[in-house]
Homo-oligomer: A and B are copies of this chain.
Amino acid sequence: MVRPWPGPPPDPETARRGGPRLSGVQRERPSSMKLSALAHLLDGQVHGDGDLDFERPAHPDHAGAGDLAVAMQPELVERLAGSAARVGLVATGAQVPDGVLDAWVSVGRPRYALHHLTTAFAQAPSLAPGLHPTAVVDPSAEIGEDVALGAFVVVGAGARLGRGCRIQSHVSIGAGARLGADCLLYPGVRIGERVVVGDRAILHANVCLGADGFSFVTPEPGTVESAKASGKVAGENQALVRIHSLGAVVVGDDVEIGANTCIDRGTLADTRIGAGTKIDNLVMIGHNVEVGRSCLLCGQVGIAGSAVIGNGVVLAGGVGVADHARIGDFAVIGARSGVSGHVPPKSVWLGYPAVPKEQMVETYMLTRRLKTLFKDVAELKKRGRACPSPT
């Protein structure tokens, strides 16, 4: 039923062996692990027989008899009684009821332990080494050592791919684009012309780097300009013309970008994403934006043109940032807030328009008491009639 592909089909064995060099991720996950080894890996403590082993970590509800029930929160510890697992992983100080597990490991910092645990058991995406025979690579492109290109990948003129890059199927890499070493690109990623990506970047499916910025102008001032200037709509938008994007997108080392996220190129300068920043799915980053290092931009965040985001900033899900806004280092913006203007470093802001969190919470609590306030004032007005008029 499967047609022979002209040229040898990829060898399934090598396909299984291949895989990106995700930091610390093995090509094959271990078939089992002892609790003593787990405790060593996670810097934890064994309770009971450390020679007991397990096949894979699992949620207590879904764990089988050979699995490790991972129960880092108290509500999950309670579910251990209903779990088929005989060994578990809990937070230090967790009260594991008698008899629900034969042995367990406890760890002091559960989320960080999850990093080590899942790294040990993650499986690298399968991708045959070398260039798939269907890949279309411009002769002037430079392909580094040990690069794997999947089926139907297109690499444009003058593009450069660093050593060890793993490019899955259907990816397009535009002319003059550059990828650093050991990048992992999932299917359908679009890298625009002249876009630059650092080392070890992970780009999930259908990411678009380097669409043109959304920047248009009318020969005479249009409705937006008049609305911003006067609060009134004076002109009428007609014959919108483009301000072209001469810049590119520059993404630092160790950046991860979620599925279907878009980062537009800059107008005169490049749009920039700092090293170590992690971006979730369906995020929109406009032209000229600068995002600092080690930021977390959660799902559906939108950042309008020319905004500047500092280092270590966290934008929770759905946050919007207005054009030219500035967010200071290590600030945290609560979910679905709308930021304009300047947010100071290390502050926690919330709401639309976003304000310091404690201020937003206070306003919200007062708003919830409005009904009582209206009643009080109505009562005062009734009583007031008995008072003499101030005239």
- CB of A106, distance to nearest CB on chain B (Å): 17
Question: A36 at interface (Cβ–Cβ under 8 A)?
Answer: no
- Say yes or no: B143 contacts A294, CB within 8 Å: no
Give A143-184 as 1s and 0s: 1 = Cβ < 8 Å from B's Cβ atoms.
100000011101011000000000011101011000000000
Q: Which residues of B contact A286 (CB under 8 A)?
A: 299
Give A296-338 as 1s and 0s: 1 = Cβ < 8 Å from B's Cβ atoms.
1011101010000000101001101010000001111001101
Q: Say how many copies of this protein the assembly contains.
A: 3
With A260-B262, A320-B336 in contact, do A3 and B133 touch (Cβ < 8 Å)? yes
- Say yes or no: B156 contacts A126, CB within 8 Å: yes
A281 to B25, CA, bound (A): 33
16 A-B Cβ contacts within 8 A? Answer: A12-B157, A112-B217, A152-B154, A172-B188, A205-B208, A214-B280, A214-B299, A216-B296, A237-B314, A259-B264, A286-B299, A300-B320, A304-B317, A353-B364, A362-B371, A380-B384
A139 to B298, CA, bound (A): 39
- Say yes or no: A278 contacts B243, CB within 8 Å: no
Q: Which residues of B contact A368 (CB under 8 A)?
A: 363
- Say yes or no: B233 contacts A112, CB within 8 Å: no
A169 contact from B131, B172, B204, B364, Cβ within 8 A? B172
- Say yes or no: A314 contacts B259, CB within 8 Å: no
Question: A35 at interface (Cβ–Cβ under 8 A)?
Answer: no
Name, among A115, A232, A386, the residue most crowded by chain B CB atoms within 10 Å (CB to CB): A115
A126-B175, A190-B205 are known; give 11 further A-B pairs, CB within 8 A.
A2-B10, A12-B139, A25-B244, A57-B246, A118-B268, A121-B244, A172-B205, A188-B190, A231-B357, A282-B302, A302-B317
Q: Which residues of B contact A384 (CB under 8 A)?
A: 380, 383-384, 387
- Say yes or no: A299 contacts B299, CB within 8 Å: no
- Say yes or no: B208 contacts A212, CB within 8 Å: no
Q: Which residues of B contact A186 (CB under 8 A)?
A: 190, 192, 211
Q: Which residues of B contact A381 (CB under 8 A)?
A: 376, 380
Give A344-376 as 1s and 0s: 1 = Cβ < 8 Å from B's Cβ atoms.
001110001100011000111011111101101
A168 to B383, CA, bound (A): 75
